């Protein structure tokens, strides 16, 4: 029995746009769409931890993407989330629990690459996932804010310091693995299993 493809939930209050994203991704993934925040949470509850990635519009009537993201995290759902929105990022994104941030309009290839990246990140441990998320936020802010705005923002400075700490932790973990593991033996073992 073959394993099912990953499930991507697209949350977008513009049905035509949600359906377009679904068409772009439908050949490679199982895709569900929700045309608003309340429908998104109903779908998440219905799928019961089967969601692998969520593409989430930030500005929606009724229940915003920010509120949906908070509810998803409070439910303990272990999936990667990308905000796909027309809202330009500001320093408020530093406190949000998403993994990536795309500003509309988004091209097909960019959307596919983002989903691939989200799913790949889902296989990493939480420290590496956190590093990717924070690095994504830092890059988005650096693309949108001036050097003086960044230099004057305390949260941005804390973000930069936290990223450096996480990088050092990841580097130490990798060094520990390379010192204790026999990679050649590991690869030989894989070769003999094929």
**Global pTM value:** 0.74
Residue 173 lies in a domain: yes
CATH code for the domain in which residue 181 is found: 3.40.50.2300
Residue 62 lies in a domain: yes
Range of the domain at 60: 7-193
Tens of pLDDT, residues 133-178? 899 899 889 988 999 999 999 999 999 999 998 888 877 766 665 5
Residue 2 lies in a domain: no
Residue 52 lies in a domain: yes
The number of distinct structural domains making up the chain is 1
Helix axes 108-121, 15-25, angle to 10 degrees: 70
Mean pLDDT (whole number) for 118-137: 82
Q: What percent of the chain has pLDDT over 90?
A: 58
Q: Are 159 and 94 in contact (CB under 8 A)?
A: yes
**Strand order in 100-103's β-sheet?**
30-34, 7-11, 53-56, 80-85, 100-103
Residue 1 lies in a domain: no
Structure confidence at residue 190 (pLDDT): 40
- Measured in degrees and rounded to the nearest 5, phi and psi for residue 25 equal -100, -15
Structure confidence at residue 82 (pLDDT): 94
In whole angstroms, give the CA distance from residue 186 to residue 22: 39
Helix axes 126-144, 108-121, angle to 10 degrees: 150
């Amino acid at each position: 029995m073959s394993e099912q493809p990953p499930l991507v939930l697209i949350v977008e209050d513009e049905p035509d746009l949600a359906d377009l994203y679904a068409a772009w991704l439908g050949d490679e993934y199982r895709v569900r769409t929700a045309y608003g925040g309340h429908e998104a949470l109903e779908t998440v509850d219905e799928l019961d931890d089967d969601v692998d990635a969520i593409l989430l519009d930030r500005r929606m009537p009724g229940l915003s993407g920010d509120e949906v993201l908070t509810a998803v995290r409070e439910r303990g759902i272990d999936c990667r989330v990308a905000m796909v929105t027309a809202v330009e990022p500001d320093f408020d994104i530093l406190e949000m629990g998403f993994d990536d941030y795309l500003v509309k309009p988004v091209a097909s290839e960019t959307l596919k690459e983002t989903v691939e990246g989200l799913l790949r990140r889902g296989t990493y441990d939480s420290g590496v996932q956190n590093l990717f998320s924070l690095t994504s936020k830092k890059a988005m802010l650096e693309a949108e804010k001036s050097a003086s705005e960044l230099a004057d923002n305390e949260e941005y400075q804390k973000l930069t310091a936290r990223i450096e700490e996480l990088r050092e932790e990841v580097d130490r973990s990798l060094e520990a693995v390379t010192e204790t593991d026999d990679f050649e033996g590991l690869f030989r073992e894989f070769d003999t299993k094929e």
